[in-house]
Amino acid sequence: MDRKLLFFVLLLSISAQSQHLGQRTFFSEAIGLNIKKYTAKSQLAYFEQDFERAENLFDSLINNVVNGSYLDNFKVRRISGKKIELYQFEKPLFLMTYASWCTPGVGEIPALNEIAEKYNSEIDFVVLFWDSKENVKKSTREYFSKIHVLYVDELENTHDHIVEIMKHSLGFPTSFFIDENKKIVDVRRGVLHPYNEQYAISFELNYNSFLNGISLLKNLGDANGSDIVAKENP
């Protein structure tokens, strides 16, 4: 009788776990159901130069659709050319999607390097470029050694739906903050920067943005606390 009861309890537990996993909504699915409506409204807002509405639409998409979904797994390549799956990163994940034709602010990479140097033992830092291996190599020499610089070769991902979604839905650069189970905690656009901006301002804006997102993953405390600093141009 005890064995039958134990078997029944185990069966219920397995069933509950299966239902829990079955309730997961993946990023590609969540975005796929909402991206057309968002894109139409966002383009109209930018056409009318209503930038506040455009920003509110983005925030609504992230808070009500994207956050809480699970990032799909897909294959990318290291600079060496070796393939790696995104799910091979087991720590909480900072993932920045980029392209070599994007021009970073003068303080963006130094700010990311400092954040990664401080928290790489707890969080995996990944910068994912959409471009050829040759172009990515030229763009990545300034990154801290513990940041994983990867790239997507679209010529070999022509039938990969998640690769298309990641590229075309939210734009570049975009930062994803993802927990160890691959659940998306937050998504943030890159800090807008004018040309000829001051290094200290660019560094501070980017550092604070990165740290705010990291704090959601690791409970680093109040993002307005002593960790948020301004840096002088070295």
Pick the closest to residue 94 from 169, 174, 170, 202 (CA basis): 174
Does 69 have pLDDT greater than 50?
yes
Pick the closest to residue 133 from 171, 98, 178, 81 (CA basis): 81
Delimit the domains of the chain by residue range: 23-70, 76-234
Burial of 49 (0-12, 13-18, 19+ CB in 10 A): exposed
- The pLDDT value given to residue 70: 97
Q: What is the pLDDT of residues 155-177, one digit of tens each?
A: 776 667 788 888 888 988 899 99
Which range is least confidently modeled, 26-30, 70-74, 214-218? 214-218
* Segment 40-47 mean pLDDT: 94
* Segment 42-69 mean pLDDT: 94
- The pLDDT value given to residue 144: 95
- The pLDDT value given to residue 134: 84
* Segment 115-144 mean pLDDT: 90
- The pLDDT value given to residue 95: 96
Q: What is the pLDDT of residues 224-233, one digit of tens each?
A: 444 554 455 4
Q: What is the pLDDT of residues 75-125, one digit of tens each?
A: 889 988 899 999 999 999 999 999 878 888 899 999 999 999 999 999 999
Q: What is the pLDDT of residues 176-206, one digit of tens each?
A: 999 999 999 999 988 877 767 889 999 999 9
CATH topology assigned to domain 76-234 = Glutaredoxin (3.40.30)
- The pLDDT value given to residue 19: 41
- The pLDDT value given to residue 2: 56
Pick the closest to residue 96 from 81, 82, 80, 76 (CA basis): 76
- The pLDDT value given to residue 209: 92
Does 223 have pLDDT greater than 80?
no
Pick the closest to residue 103 from 172, 188, 189, 200 (CA basis): 172
* Segment 124-132 mean pLDDT: 91
- How far from the centroid of its chain's Cα atoms is residue 13's Cα? 33
